[in-house]
Amino acid sequence: MAAITAAMVKDLRQKTDAPMMECKKALVAAEGDFAKAEEILRVKLGNKANKAAARVAAEGIVGVYVSDDRKLGALFEVNSETDFVAKNPDFVAMAEAGARLVAEKNPADIAALSALTVDGKSLEEIRTGLVGKIGENMSFRRFIRVEAQGRLDTYVHGGAKIAAMVDMIGGDDELAHDVAMHIAASKPKALDENGVPAELIESERRIAIEKAREAGASDIWLTERGNSFGYNNLVVDFRNIPDMLKIAPTVVMDCTHSVQRPGAAGGKTGGNREFVPAMARAAKAFGANGFFFEVHPDPDKGLSDAANMLVLNDLEALIKSLL
C-alpha cells in the first residue's frame, strides 16, 4: 500500500475542496492513486448532496451585483439549512457569483443559471461541491435582473438576509440608498399608492380592527404620530387623518411623539416641543377629534421624551384653543 503523505492530502483538498479527512480516506481507499481518489470523492460528495437534498433549506442570503456604471444589477437568493452555513465565505461567494452571472448572462430561469460557469465549473457543480463539503442542503431559489433607467443603489440588511435594489432617476446617492433601506425595512406592496389594490387596503383595515376587537376592545381609536423617513425626522402627512376617520370614528393626534427627532440628540432621541401647538391645530383642521400631550412643569428635567414635552402651564390655553 502506498504511503499517504500530508502533501498528497493537501493537493487533493486544493483540487476538490473536500474536507481534509475525506481526502485522506479517499487516498487510502484508492491506494494513493490521485485520479481514483478524486473519483471516490466526487461519488461520496455527490451522495452527501443527494441525502441533504431531502432536508429543508429555509435560511440563506441574497447575493447582490451592481455594475461599475450602476446601470445593470441583479439580486440572487440562495438558501441553506442553517444560519451558520449562510455565513460561510464559500457560500457567500457562490451567491455573489450567481448574482453577477444573472446580470451579465441574463439566464431565462434557475436551470439556465445553474448551467452557467464560474472559473470552469457550473454554478450547480459549485453548489453540489459545497453541499458535499459542508453536509447541508443548499438551493437556488429565485433571482431578478435590473437594467436601470437611472442608476442603481442597494441596501443589504441582516447578514444579507434582506436586500433591496433601487433604480433612481434624479436625486442623489444618499436618497437612493435611503429609499433602498426603507424598502428593505417596510416591504412595500407597490411603488406608489396607485399600485395598491383597493381590496388589499380594505382587507388590511378590516384585519387591524378585528384584531383590536378580538383583544377585547369595545371602542376603536386610531392614532397619527408621523412616519420616519430617515434624516433624524418624523414626517406627518395630515391627509392620513380623513382617511383614518373612514376606518374609526375617533382619530387621536399624538402631538408629543410626532415632533420627535429620532437619533438627533447625539445618538438619542431629540425633539422640537415648540411645534406641539401647531401640530395640534393642524390636526384639528384635518378632522382629528382627540389629542395626546405629554406635559411637565419643567420639561428639560423630564426622564422620558423631555425634548417633546409641553410646558404644563401652557396646556390649558392650548386645550381651550382646540375646543
Is residue 19 within a helix (H) or strand (E), and if so which, with residue range? Answer: none
Q: What is the rounded average pLDDT of the residues 60-69?
A: 94
In a shared domain, residues 48 and 117: no
Using alpha carbons, select from 312, 143, 305 the residue that is nearest to residue 234. 305
Could you give the number of structural domains in the chain?
Answer: 3
pLDDT of the residue at 58: 61
**Which DSSP symbol is given to 20?**
H
117-118 and 121-122 strand pairing: antiparallel
In a shared domain, residues 67 and 42: no
Count of other CB atoms within 10 angstroms of residue 187: 9
Q: How far apart are the first and last CA of the chain?
A: 99
Residue at grid coordinates 481526502: 23
**Residues 94-125: tens digit of each pLDDT:** 999 999 999 999 999 999 999 999 999 999 99
Per-residue pLDDT for 221 more than 80?
A: yes
162-168 and 151-157 strand pairing: antiparallel
pLDDT of the residue at 57: 52
**Residues 120-146: tens digit of each pLDDT:** 999 999 999 998 888 888 899 999 999
In a shared domain, residues 182 and 94: yes
Distance CA 58, CA 54 (A): 12
In a shared domain, residues 74 and 164: yes
What domain range is 308 assigned to? 219-322
In a shared domain, residues 166 and 286: no
In a shared domain, residues 169 and 94: yes
Contacts 24+ apart (CB under 8 A), 125-128: 126/94, 126/97, 127/94, 128/45, 128/46, 128/49
In a shared domain, residues 137 and 250: no
Task: Label residue 286 by pLDDT band (50, 70, 90).
Answer: very high
**Residues 161-210: tens digit of each pLDDT:** 889 999 999 989 899 999 999 998 888 888 887 888 888 887 777 777 87
Does a structural domain hold residue 1? no
Per-residue pLDDT for 53 more than 90?
A: no
Tally DSSP H helices, then E strands, for the chain: 12, 16
Coil, helix or strand at residue 197? coil
Residue at grid coordinates 392650548: 318
In a shared domain, residues 121 and 162: yes
Per-residue pLDDT for 51 more than 70?
A: no
In a shared domain, residues 37 and 66: no
Does a structural domain hold residue 299? yes
